[in-house]
Amino acid sequence: MNAMQSRIRSALLAAGRGIVLSIAGLAGSITLFVLAVLSIAFIPLGLGLFTTPQVLDAVRRHANQRRLLAATWSDIRIPVPYRPFPKDLRGGFTGQVERTTLMLKDPATWRDIQWLLVDMTAGYFVSVLASALLLYPVEGFVLAAGLWRVFTDDRYWYAFVPVDSQATALAAAALGVVFFLTGLKVSNPLLRLHFVIARSLLAPTHEQELARRIDRLTETRHEAVDTAASELRRIERDLHDGAQARLVAMGMNLGTIEALIEKDPAQAKKLLATARESSAEALTELRDLVRGIHPPVLAERGLGDAVKALALQLPIAAEVDVELAGRAEAPVESAAYFAVSETLTNAAKHSGADRLWVDIHHADSMLRISVTDNGKGGATIGPGSGLSGIERRLGTFDGIMAVSSPAGGPTMVTMEIPCELS
């Protein structure tokens, strides 16, 4: 019984969403299609140079809204394919011309316009059908309840059933039941079909996806080189200011001890103790430095145990759940480890949380890591944010990161890195 009620609610919800999409297809897509065609046609007259960017921006917002609904309502993800504008885009008339040119050269613009045409036709038909199969039966039930008598002077058709008596009205109601039962089965698939149709034009083509991937890899390559150079400078600085300074001081102490060993054995003994302490401190700093480059536990035990060891050092309670059938390549493990390390450090310092959860698993050739805290929320990815550095680190391996952190919490940082386990 509960399953049937749930199915009916789900189908009715799909019908309501179909109505929303059909209205958007008529009111939004038709209007924007006409405006886009007219605006582009008026470019030779000069007027289109001012209207086209605004109209195409509206088209993109309309398409992005459909992408959002596709992900929210049917779990269909449609990537955004638009080329970014240059940061030094000028203002005024020259900038307007340049902006118009860039938008018209973007293949995604023309695919958006094609989608508007499809959305007002095939998309509209599918969305209307998703709702009509559940709403149209109401008319059949009302006719059977006695409304058919209103049409005694003229035969009334319900679908293909001519209604002119109580018997034919009951036949209309029976047909309405068939429509309703059909709607229960196909409303959700029809809603999904609407978004599949939209994805066929709104998603980037293979060539666009390849170009974006090349741009992304070029960007992450530069970031990886910069990160590696920065890391090398950090290591050199830590060696110079830490272990190297202590080793130099220890060498000077040993030289002094050599001179005092016969003249002042007591002073030489004190200096020897100081040199021993300096050597121990230098060794500790070198171990910390090596741990910062590639922790021994990561090399010996793998990512899962390394993160568990990391969690034990946190000032707040942390649970780590690991499901890995093997080990990823060393560079991927290292990137994932330091990404988790920085995320945990940020959470411990800034979130105000008293509990952390880390989940690590591998599925569909993807290493997925989520770090959740019960803190105050408000974490964002942006300039100056520690999360931006993590995103750049993952980007080197074509990985991605998403952050959900509403005000008041909780905060969840999800990281994905494509890789295979061995």
Which option is the CATH number for 220-293: 1.20.5, 2.60.120, 3.40.50, 1.10.1060? 1.20.5
Bridge partners of 371, per DSSP, are 358, 413
Extract the tokens encoding 403.
Answer: 């952050």
**Of 260, 259, 254, 289, which is closest to residue 275 (Cα–Cα)?**
254
Neighbours of 184 (CB within 10 A): 19
DSSP H helices in 119-205:
124-144, 166-202
**Which residues have C-beta within 8 Å of that of residue 9, sequence separation ≥ 6?**
none
Cis peptide preceding 410, ω within 30 of 0: yes
For residue range 56-84, list pLDDT tens digits in order.
999 999 999 999 988 888 888 888 888 87
Distances (CA, A) of 382 to 84, 351, 388, 389, 404: 17, 17, 6, 9, 14
So what's the pLDDT on residue 178?
83
**Structural domain spans, the chain:** 2-202, 220-293, 297-418
So what's the pLDDT on residue 60?
92
Give every residue of the chain whose pLDDT is below 70, as ranges: 1-3, 88-93, 148-154, 208, 212, 215-250, 253-254, 258-260, 278, 280-295, 381-386
Helix (H, G, I), strand (E, B) or coil at 298: helix
Query: Any idea which fold 297-418 has?
Result: Heat Shock Protein 90 (3.30.565)
* Cα distance between residue 138 and residue 268, in whole Å: 103
Is there a shared CATH topology between the 220-293 domain and the 297-418 domain? no
Would the pTM of this model clear 0.75, i.e. be above it? no
Provide the pairing of β-strand 161-163 with 355-363: unpaired
Sign, CA torsion 243/249/252/256: negative
Q: Which residue has the tokens 């459909």?
A: 66
Strand order in the sheet with 411-418: 317-323, 355-363, 366-373, 411-418, 400-404
Provide the pairing of β-strand 317-323 with 355-363: parallel
